[in-house]
Structure 1
Amino acid sequence: MNNSGEAVSLVKEYFGIDTPDICVIHDDVDLPFGQRKEQVGAGHAGHKGVMSIMDSLGTKDFKRIRVGIGRPRIGSNLPVDDFVLNDFSSEELDGIKKIGVPLSENLNFL
């Protein structure tokens, strides 16, 4: 997952996609669960997959839709790296189903 840049670069080259036309949808621990935010040209904020994409493309000038997954609960000893790789709870899975429709509303951003 943290080598996403390799795949993005291959797809970009194969299909002849211009970098500004690329849109990456990714998780974000800095947003509350289910919240989303559109950005262009923002930094990676420590997200290793996004960092890989920026390194491979040589720029941060592509579209991103950040989807919030929140952070570990207060008092949890779970490191953030482990938190993002955990399976979703059944409650979270229900929430994800509800995210899909609003996320499709972001298509005008593309």
Structure 2
Amino acid sequence: MSDLQVVDEASFDEVVLGADKPVLVDFWAQWCPPCHQIVPVLAQIAEERRDQLTVVKLNSDENPSISSRYRVMALPTLMLFHRGELIWSVVGARPKAKLLKELDDALLAAV
């Protein structure tokens, strides 16, 4: 689906919660059209912000325990983790500029 790193139930805690820098997790599913629409935006953000932020994907259908742990009820859901804590989340696809503004605001509030 994209070149974004994929996490699953086996790697989530290490890759996301144990990361040194903030991690944006895209909870998605194959059947979800907006999930596919947001992939190019996330890929651009992953490339442009690679020194500040890691962007990963988690297939909610294949990893129900993680989706349940974070109460993901709709897709796509984006969640931003920093130092092992969930600091921001949003449901639905967004234009890149709006998403970047929201991410920057969340990261500033977390510092």
Structure number with greater Rg is: 1
Same fold, judged at TM 0.5 (above): no
- TM-score scaled to structure 1, two decimals? 0.30
* Structure showing the higher helix proportion among its residues: 1
* Structure showing the higher strand proportion among its residues: 2
